[in-house]
Amino acid sequence: MSDDLTAFRAETRAWLEAHCPAEMREPVRSDKDVCWGGRKARFSSVAQKQWLDIMGARGWTVPDWPARYGGGGLSPDQAKIVRQEMADLGCRTPLHSFGISMLGPALLRYGTEEQKLEHLPRIARGEIRWCQGYSEPNAGSDLASLATRAEDKGDHFLVNGQKVWTSYADQADWIFCLVRTDPTNKHRGISFLLFDMDSPGVSTRPILLISGYSPFCETFFDNVKVPKDQLVGEINRGWDVAKYLLGHEREMISGMGTQGGAISLSKIALANLGAEADGRLADPILRARIAQFDLRAEAFRAMSERFLDELKAGKAHPAQPSMMKYTGTELNKQRYELAMAAGGSAALEWDSDESRQGAAARAWLRTKANSIEGGTSEIQLNIIAKRILALPGA
């Protein structure tokens, strides 16, 4: 068994070394370096597209999904080796995708065979880019109070309402969307629909954020017709699908900044401050803060690995994603505060070419959303207090 894995590791490494373009082994420096795929995909280089195509064809954008759904068909141990070797070689993630990190796991669990065969391979190859229709103007932390209506019109649902904070809705091809199908029952009156963003009646409006970018949109539905077979799971039981998917979303957000290509605070600080004769960073207070952060970040990575191993073995507590989300996002905010301190005035530049159009400052501001999106830190703490600690009235 372990001999097989050793051989698999060697093969994986050799294959990655042979097929991963050199450019795709450089650290991610800005949003442009991140590949999202989809019908409107904009590749920043030939190598970026090559890397997506090669990995998509092999199923290694989703190494542990079944091969018939476009995945690599690997065992958990093998998939872990692929991730480890990619991290070790500095290979960029070939495809960032809400289809992979959120919808896919939910479809694998709740989708019909037809839905899986239609959507999963396109997700794996990066052909369809998905967005998430969850939050509404009056349904944020209290998500289950959502009001976007889907009326049963016989052969289709008629959807009317508004979503907000829809990440990249203006660039997405399809949406997975929570809609109200029974106004008399809060949690058991929600359904989970999939539909094409090109459907008549769908419109989006980007929201300008403090980073100066507009990754989020308002999304409006005006008499949108959605075929009945695009319902995932049972009617009025979409909250189960939504919660299951939220667990995966929280894991994805908790991993932001900790995966391959994460910034090194000490490198930034050494470049700006220099070192003492014995090699220590010249600012002892900043050095201490970075060291304490790095220690916590390494410990957090151990927890990520542990929870993933437990998840694959069916030993995970259902509230573990809340712990990952809370801990990981609070750490990531700290990381970028330290990055700003280490970067000094250079990190403040907003639009110069040297700063790659303010990449550092904008990334710093972007992280402030981490502890809000996908359920705030406070909501995660509520969940932990209730589901793990069983505190009274929680």
Partner 1 sequence: MPMFLTDEQVMLADTARPFLADTAPVAHRRALRDADDERGYAPDLWRRFAEMGFTGIVADEADGGLGLGHVEAGIVLEEIGRNLTPSPFLSTAVGAVTALKGASEPLRRRHLPAILAGESIAAIAIDEAARHRPHHVGLRAERSGNGFRLSGTKRFVPFGHVADLLIVAARTSGAPDDVDGITLFAVPGDAATASPRRLADASLAARLDFADVQVDGDAVIGEVDGGRGPLDALLTVLRTGAASEMLGLANGAADMTMAYLRDRKQFGQAIGSFQVLQHRAAHLYCELEVARAAVLKAQQLLDQGAEAADRAATVAKGMVGFASLLAVQEGVQMHGGIGMTDEYDIGFYMKRQRVLAELYGDSDFHADRLARLSGY
Which positions are catalytic?
249
Q: Is 275 in the site for partner 1 (CB under 8 A)?
A: yes
In the DSSP assignment, the letter for residue 262 is: -
In the DSSP assignment, the letter for residue 51 is: H
Q: Is 228 in the site for partner 1 (CB under 8 A)?
A: no
Q: Is 280 in the site for partner 1 (CB under 8 A)?
A: yes
Torsion over CA of 345, 351, 355 and 361, rounded to 10 degrees? 60
Whole-number Cα distances in Å, 108 to 65, 100, 213, 357:
9, 11, 33, 40
User: To 10 degrees, what angle do helices 265-273 and 320-343 make?
Assistant: 10
b/e code 236-270 from CB counts within 10 Å (16+ = b)? ebbbbbbebbbbbbbbbbbbbbbbbbbbebbebbb
Q: Which stretch binds partner 1 (CB under 8 A): 164-172, 208-216, 219-227, 299-307?
A: 299-307
In the complex, minimum distance from the CB of residue 237 to partner 1, in angstroms, rounded to a whole number = 28
Q: Which one, 50 or 266, has the nearer CB to partner 1?
A: 266
- Among candidates 180, 5, 12, which has minimal Cα distance to 89? 12
Q: Is 281 in the site for partner 1 (CB under 8 A)?
A: yes
Cα 137 from chain centroid? 22
Q: Which stretch binds partner 1 (CB under 8 A): 33-41, 83-91, 146-154, 278-286?
A: 278-286
Q: Is 23 in the site for partner 1 (CB under 8 A)?
A: no
- Residues 231-270 as x/- pattern, contact with partner 1 by CB under 8 A: -----------------------------------x--xx
Could you tell me which residues come within 8 angstroms of residue 81 by beta carbon, excluding any fewer than 6 positions away? 5, 8, 9, 12
Ranges within 319-338 binding partner 1 (CB under 8 A): 323, 326-327
Q: Is 315 in the site for partner 1 (CB under 8 A)?
A: yes
Q: Which residues of this protein are in contact with partner 1, per CB under 8 A?
A: 266, 269-270, 275, 279-281, 287-288, 290-292, 294-296, 298-300, 302-303, 305-306, 309-310, 312-313, 315, 323, 326-327, 378, 380-382, 384-385, 388-394
